[in-house]
Every structure is written in C-alpha cells, then in structure tokens.
C-alpha cells in the first residue's frame, strides 16, 4: 500500500521569468530537505526549470504543485506543471529530441523525462496541459532504460 505522505504541497504561480527562478529555488530547497543528493537535486531543478518554462512560454502561464512523497521505502518529490493553454496536438512529436514549435532547443520535454523517474503528460488541444514528474531519493544511481 502506498502512503501518499503529503506533508505539505506547495503551489506556486508561473507567470513571468522571475517566477521560474522562484520555482527553481523552491524545488531545490524541497529536494534538499527530502534528502536528495546534489546531482539529483540538480537534475530535479533543471527538469523543473524546463517544464516551468514550457508552462510559461507554450502554455501561456499556469502553476506548479510541488508535493513531498513517502512510499514507505523512500522519499520522493512530485512536481505537476499545470496550464490551461493550447495543449499539445501531437505529444509523440513534442517528446522528440530537438522538436520545437517555438524556436527553443526542443530538449525540454524529452530532456526533463530523462532527468526524473516517472513522467507523464496529460494534454488536450484547446484545454491545457499538465506535466507531472516524480523522482525518488536513490542511494545508488538508478539505472534506467535508454541510458
């Protein structure tokens, strides 16, 4: 059975590039507090920065919900980036390295996915996008398929 262990979920607005800095700082502090090592913290903060920028630039702004997790064996962090922007028409294409509709490098979605343990996108054209990323504190570096 999974205890969700939601001690304190934090919700932050994403409406400007100053907000992106706040999101990074909050994720860094939360991850450090949960016992994530430096490399994992850096991966989480980088994934958060990519996904929050997508919420801002492609989604027209929104918010992030940051939730500490505890499944009984390890602690983790869930970040959900939520907007009610245009949505993603072709998710498979959007998840391709290098694909961008906005003049970026096209590494945000695909790269963020590689930086965390669980990754999901819930999107519908015209209704918005929610991207959820979860990482767990690992003692030994996790080996993941595709690496």
Partner 1 sequence: MSQPLPAHSAQVPVLALGDVLLVSLQGELHDGMAEQLQQDITQRISTDRMTGVVIDISGVDMVDSFLGRVLAEIASTARLLAARTVLAGMRPAVAITLVELGLTLPGLVTALDVDRAMELLNQRGS
Q: Judged by CB under 8 A, which of 17, 90, 118, 124 binds partner 1?
A: 17
Q: Quick check: 111 binds partner 1 (CB under 8 A)?
A: yes
**Token digits for 19?**
């907000």
Helices (H) and strands (E) in the chain, counts: 4, 5
108 binding Mg ion? (CB under 5 A):
yes
Task: State how far the Cα of 126 lies from the Cα of 116, in Å rounded to an integer.
Answer: 27
Is 62 an interacting residue with respect to Mg ion (CB under 5 A)? no
Buried b (16+ CB within 10 A) or exposed e, 33-45: ebebeeebbebbb
Query: Using the rule CB under 5 A, is 54 a contact of Mg ion?
Result: yes
Q: Which stretch binds partner 1 (CB under 8 A): 6-14, 24-32, 79-87, 127-135?
A: 24-32
Which one of ligand ADP, Mg ion, partner 1, none interacts with residue 133, CB within 5 to 8 A by kind?
none
What is each CA distance from 47 to 3, 9, 22, 38, 53, in whole angstroms? Answer: 25, 18, 14, 14, 10
| Site of interaction with ligand ADP (CB under 6 A) | 50, 54-55, 58-59, 83, 85-88, 94, 99-102, 104-110, 129
Interface residues with Mg ion (CB under 5 A) are: 54, 104, 108
């Amino acid at each position: 059975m999974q205890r969700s262990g939601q001690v304190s979920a934090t919700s932050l607005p994403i409406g400007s590039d100053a907000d992106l800095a706040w999101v990074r700082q909050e994720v860094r502090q939360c991850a450090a507090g949960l016992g994530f090592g430096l490399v994992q913290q850096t991966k989480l903060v980088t994934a958060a920065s990519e996904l929050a920028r997508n919420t801002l630039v492609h989604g027209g702004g929104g918010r992030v919900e940051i939730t500490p997790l505890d499944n009984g064996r390890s602690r983790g962090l869930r970040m959900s980036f939520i907007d009610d922007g245009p949505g993603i028409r072709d998710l498979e294409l959007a998840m391709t390295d290098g694909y961008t509709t906005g003049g970026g490098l096209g590494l945000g979605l695909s790269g963020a996915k590689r930086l965390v343990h669980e990754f999901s996108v819930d999107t519908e054209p015209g209704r918005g996008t929610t991207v959820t990323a979860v990482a767990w504190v690992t003692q030994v570096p996790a080996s993941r398929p595709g690496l």
